[in-house]
Structure 1
Amino acid sequence: MNYAILRTAKLKTMGNIGGSLAHNYRTIETPNTDPNLTPKNDHSVATPEAVKQAIKDQLPEKRRSDAVLCIEYLITASPEWEGWGTSKEDEFFERASLWLSDKHGAENIAGVSIHRDISTPHLVAYVVPIDQKGKLNCKDFLGGRVKLNQMQTNFANTVADLGLTRGKEGSKAKHTNIKEYYHDINHARDFNIKTVSPKPEMFESKTRYGEKVTAAVIEQIEPTVKAANSILMDYEKARVDRSVAEASYNTLKKRVEPYLVAIEGLNPEEITRVNDTMQLESRKIAVERVKDKKAMEVSKYSQIDFKSNSVDK
């Protein structure tokens, strides 16, 4: 079963926001990303500084000192979802963006990014939590388990026809926040999978309990699966890089081999003489090329003039 995944983080200071943006825009070292794919990441706002300024512009002057200034959303789907790399992927991220706009108002979304340089693509959004009264009010959106459950269900329904569902509602499995999500990806290298099954409720049918256990186990092993996918991607990249390096080495070896043969057994002074001779010959060849090019141009123009005169006659 493939799941729609929605995580949130509360950013209370500009320092928190700046750190998150540095990770988001890859201005700091980011584990488990492929630098060759980073240019394929999409950002609705060009720079992290511009996102930070957009957040500041939306913040009311009067607010509590401990208020949440920004909600960071991370939206993705199960790594096994067949929609990755197809038109469904674009549709998924487009719907996620529209869902955020409907929930918070487009004016309160400071920036949206889509990362494709990691094993499973995901969307990151920075939202200033302004409520309907115009107040900075994160609690209105993320306050309490009921609202969080409703949010998960609402988003899952938005992308259900793309072949995605939400995690088991009412599951006792702990939901990870964004920080834990990235930590799990970066540190689940030993693949020591441990799961905790939920306890059966009184009079609960075997079928329902089985579904609950399945959902709980999937949610608990998801970070390890992501880490495994990331390692496979890293391995494949290393294999390709090695192949390219070997090809470059072989090409370079063929080019310098005649020179190495020529200086074999010579002392430093003799090698210097060989180098000087090579440079002199190189300059001669360059001069000859220029002369040949000019001669070809003169010949070309002469032929054009000859044809022109022939036509006139």
Structure 2
Amino acid sequence: MSYAVIHMQKVKGNGVTGMQIHNQREKESDTNTDIKKDRSHLNYDLENETPIDYHEKIKAMIDQRVDQSQRKVRKDAVKVASFMITSDKAFFDRIGEREEKRFFETARDFIGEKYGKENIAYAMVHKDEKTPHMHLGLVPITKDNRLSAKDFFGKKQQLHQLQDDFHTHMKENGFDLERGVSSDKKHLETAKFKLQTVQEKTKELEENLKRIEQIDEFDKKYKEGRFTNRVTMDREDFEAFKGVAKAGIVTLEQNKLLEAKLDDLKASNTFEVQNLQRSLKQAENERNKVMDTNLKLSRENNSLKQRNKKLYMENQLLSGTLINIKEFCKERIKNFDILVGYWKAHVLGRLEKATGKDLSHINLNLSDDDEREGFQKQKELQNEKEREKKQVENEFELE
């Protein structure tokens, strides 16, 4: 029997980039050898027709719907509840492509009905790994416009109810599946639960080995005599042999079920291991980026300090030179200050014309009344020319 598998993981802002890279196959994976690159084009997103920027979409959903007037969203808040939804390979092989897509659409609709379809950011189906599965991202926004994963998944009972409700929903929609086994059984961490599962399987195998040893005993006992077309044995041995034979048939069927369950466990384990590996790699990448950025900014800061010091010295030199030139010209050129004011106004006018902007706010450092007089006369002259130009244009339009 196949199982309805649904796992949920809370993801903060610093984990979103890793999910996007993995889900949309933006980089080649060094850790997941199950990915078949030649099948990646078969992957599809039930919510988005083209690849998206996870950060941008999640931020837009929060900005548009979360009330931040009283309290801003914390930087370390859970931004996404990441679901992994699947079954085992045998189940998908059995139902075919069309029903497979309906399986994921039905699962997507279940999340939408239970937690709000407007909260779903993406629903990426992967068909390029051994077992088809869907990564669905839910932004946990409550009905009263708060970002709160705790409201949805803060209690253990809520996660148990999720397993029950998901199984019921899939059964009601025609998918013959067993309820997924919860990996957070009481007093068991995930790793301990998996260890317990392995121990249970080991015990079954040991019992099967005992039966095989019984058969070996029978074989050894009756090989000591001469072989004929018939084998004669005691009634007690015959009854024991029958029991072993029946148990062997049952064991074969059990092995088939165990193989199906093993596929389910592999799909679940692969997802969890990949998430841990992605988170670790992402943390290392983020740390390296921050260190590189800090080093780069430090170098740029030192460079700017040197340039600023050099510019300051050049400015002091130019200021002193201009003062000397101005004093020299005052002594030899009549109305020199008026001419300086005139040219400052002229240059300012040309700049305004070239840029199309009003630059009257610029400090021209008019040093005395003569400069201000020359500046004002030139501005008046420019204004007069502008008025004459407009008058000519208006007359031309009237004609």
Quickly name the TM-score band, shorter chain normalised: 0.5 to 0.7
Query: CA 1:193–1:120 in 2, change beyond 3 Å: closer, same or farther?
Result: farther
CA distance in 2, matches of 1:18, 1:168: 30
The reply on whether 1:68 has 2:78 as its aligned counterpart is yes
- Aligned position for 2:199: 196
Partner amino acid, structure 2, of 1:64: R
Paired AA for residue 42 in structure 1: Y
What is the identity, as a one-letter code, of the residue corresponding to 1:151?
L
Aligned residue type for 1:137: S
Given the alignment of the two structures, is residue 172 of structure 1 paired with residue 177 of structure 2, yes or no? no
- Kindly indicate whether the alpha-carbon contact (under 8 Å) linking 2:44 and 2:125 is maintained by their aligned counterparts in 1: yes
Q: How does 1:152-171 map to 2 (within 5 A)?
A: 152-160=163-171, 161-168=174-181
| Corresponding position: 1:139 with 2:150 | yes
CA drift of 1:222 comes to 3.6
Instruction: Measure the CA separation in 2 of the matches of 1:144 and 1:197.
Output: 29
8 Å contact from structure 1 (residues 193, 221) kept in 2: no
* Contiguous gaps of at least 5 residues in structure 2: 202-256, 271-399
| CA root-mean-square deviation | 3.6
Structure ID, larger Rg = 2
In the alignment, residue 29 of structure 1 is paired with which amino acid?
A: E
Matched residue, 1:8: 8
Q: Does 1:113 align with 2:124?
A: yes
Asked whether the equivalents of residues 2 and 260 of structure 2 are also in contact (C-alpha less than 8 Å), the reply is no
Aligned length in residues: 198
Percentage of pairs with the same residue: 27
CA shift in 2, pair 1:26/1:221, >3 Å: closer
Give me the whole-angstrom Cα distance separating, in 2, the residues matched to 1:74 and 1:227.
11
Say if 2:61 is the partner of 1:58.
yes
TM-score (norm 2): 0.44
Question: Partners in 1 of 2:12 and 2:183 — Cα distance?
Answer: 29
In structure 1, the residue matched to 2:381 is none
CA distance in 2 between counterparts of 1:125 and 1:107 reads: 13
TM-score, length basis structure 1: 0.55
- What per-residue deviation string (whole Å, max 9, x for no partner) do you get for residues 78-117 of structure 1? 2221545343212211101111111222221111111111
Does the 8 A contact of 2:86 with 2:134 survive in 1? yes
Tell me which moved more, 116-125 or 25-34.
Answer: 25-34
Q: Secondary structure at the match of 2:104?
A: helix
Structure 1 unaligned spans of 5+: 178-183, 185-191, 199-214, 229-313
CA contact (8 A) 1:112 1:125 kept: yes
Higher mean Cα deviation, 56-65 or 162-171? Answer: 162-171
Question: What residue is the counterpart of 1:151 in the other structure?
Answer: 162
Greater fraction of residues in helix:
2
Check whether the contact 1:79–1:226 (CA below 8 A) recurs between aligned residues. Answer: no
Contact 2:6 2:180 in 1 (8 A): no
Q: In structure 1, what is the Cα distance between the partners aligned to 2:196 and 2:60?
A: 45
Aligned to 2:294: none
Residue identity matched to 2:87: A
CA contact under 8 A between 2:3 and 2:180: conserved in structure 1?
yes
